[in-house]
Amino acid sequence: MLPLTPQTHHHFDARFFKHLSKQPIFVNVGRGQSVDQSALVSALKQNQISGAALDVFEQEPLPQNDPLRQLKHVILTPHISALGRNLKEEAFKVLEANLIALKNNTPRTHLVDLNAGY
């Protein structure tokens, strides 16, 4: 998953979309601000990509008048992609492993690096 940092803000921009071939479908379930949304709309309108499935947006909730809402080849979901079938079980596995690691003074997993921004 792509973290949101100054280096990844608008990582997916007009230049990115221009380099795509075979009209892929663009999917973003990570960070809304990693996508230059106006460049995405332009890429969709110019058929640089054949569609988009989006769970996150630059501005949330997505404004009612946003152009993405008018495009027929776009699937919009209300920031729910993390609600997978086994999410709780998988999260508790990580929690349990890290609690055991803390107790045993061994390395933990899935650590947040605040200096890196994620």
Please give the positions annotated as active site.
31, 60, 79
Diameter over CA atoms, the chain: 56
Q: Rounded distance, CA 84 to CA 51, Å?
A: 23
Measured in degrees and rounded to the nearest 5, phi and psi for residue 32 equal: -60, -40
Specify whether the backbone of 104 is left (phi greater than 0), alpha (psi in -120 to 50) or beta.
alpha
CB neighbours of 16 closer than 8 A, spacing ≥ 6? 39
Q: Rounded distance, CA 2 to CA 20, Å?
A: 19
